[in-house]
Amino acid sequence: MEISRRLAILIFCGVPAIVGGGIVYAMFGNLTPVWIYEALLLITAGALVSR
């Protein structure tokens, strides 16, 4: 996989990390669910990039 495609995948997953993290925090009011959400997103992005 080309480096430009890998960077595009990481940028594509970075936007949901920022926006989604704020939404999760607003829903639960605690940082623990945000860390879980971010970890799941990181695992998914890592799986996509490693392919």
pLDDT in tens, 23-47: 999 999 999 999 999 999 989 888 8
Are the C-beta atoms of residues 20 and 37 closer than 8 Å to each other? yes
- For CA atoms 33, 24, 29, 39, the dihedral sign is positive
Task: Write down the pLDDT at residue 31.
Answer: 95
Q: Which residue has the tokens 């695992």?
A: 43
Tens digit of each residue's pLDDT (9 = 90 or more) over 11-26: 887 888 899 999 999 9
* Single pTM value for the model: 0.75
Which pLDDT score, from 0 to 100, does residue 35 have?
A: 95
